[in-house]
Amino acid sequence: MQGRALLIGNWKMNKTVEGSAGHARTLIRALEDWWDPKLVQVVLAPTALAIAAVGRILAGTDIAVAGQNLELGTEGALTGGISGYLLYEAGARWVIVGHSERRQHFAEDDALITEKVKAAWQAGLNAVVCIGETEAERNQGATERVVRQQLNLLLAGPLKGGLTIAYEPVWAIGSGRVPEPEEVAEIAAIIHGEVGARWPEAENRVAVLYGGSVNAKNLGGFLNQADVGGALIGGASLAAGEMAAMVRAAQQEGPRAR
């Protein structure tokens, strides 16, 4: 039996509001007549400036909108901050938390990321938490230790909302280098094992995605692994045709039922 794949396009700091709206319209046209949302769930994460515009265009479709980050709280004196509440009001229903670029450039640690997940849940958002090792950690054979450590605080409390975990090895992001699908499957199995040990009733509710230089050509290899439920897509999601090709690949390959 085929499971439902989850594909999230993370546009990062790309596209104007007008360009984002045009991209959304083009993707809708590219998917019409053949995309089955029961087999592939699609989420787009534009810049915060474009969430409302993209959300209006996607209203009435099965494509959801995500924020790329959030700050703690609801409203208040935090210049430049955007809370989960504001994201939700703008039309987002998902949010990416703890991406390696946030960890690296904004010094976000596991404690802050855990608090952000709680804030996302409080706002009614599905949280997509990114974890993964650096190249140095990989070379030291520390991948499993790093992954378990990054999950530790997150899984310490109760599950109170939608949660997806994206395994994104830092060395693969934007580099064109990708791990073997079997390597990703091993890490995905570890993640599922950790989730099952902490939240036995929720193990099958928490999807594990792969991210890092993923595209239409290599996506199928990851989705063919039993514990990989989809992908968090960066650069390849910026072209509507490539994103549509990945949806088609996911629909044809699909994640195997666990």
Residue ranges and CATH numbers for the domains of the chain are 5-253 (3.20.20.70)
CB 3 within 8 A of CB 255: yes
Enzyme catalytic residues: 99, 168
What is the full per-residue pLDDT of the chain (258 aa) written as tens digits? 347 999 999 999 999 999 999 999 999 999 999 999 999 999 999 999 999 999 999 999 999 999 999 999 999 999 999 999 999 999 999 999 999 999 999 999 999 999 999 999 999 999 999 999 999 999 999 999 999 999 999 999 999 999 999 999 988 887 788 899 999 999 999 999 999 999 998 878 899 999 999 999 999 999 999 899 999 999 999 999 999 999 999 999 876 543
CA distance linking residue 5 with residue 158, whole number of Å: 25
Give the pLDDT of residue 178.
86
Give residue for tokens 């994104």: 168
Give the pLDDT of residue 256.
52
Write the CA distances from 64 to 37, 52, 215, integer angstroms.
11, 12, 20
3-state SS assignment for residue 184: helix
Counting Cβ atoms within 10 Å, is residue 195 exposed (0-12), middle (13-18) or buried (19+)? buried
Give the pLDDT of residue 255.
67
Give the pLDDT of residue 133.
94
CB 216 within 8 A of CB 236: yes
How is residue 143 written in tokens? 């991948």
pTM, to two decimals: 0.95
Who contacts 205 (Cβ-Cβ below 8 Å, separation ≥6)? 159, 163
Q: Which one, of 245, 71, 100, lies nearest residue 167 by Cα?
A: 100
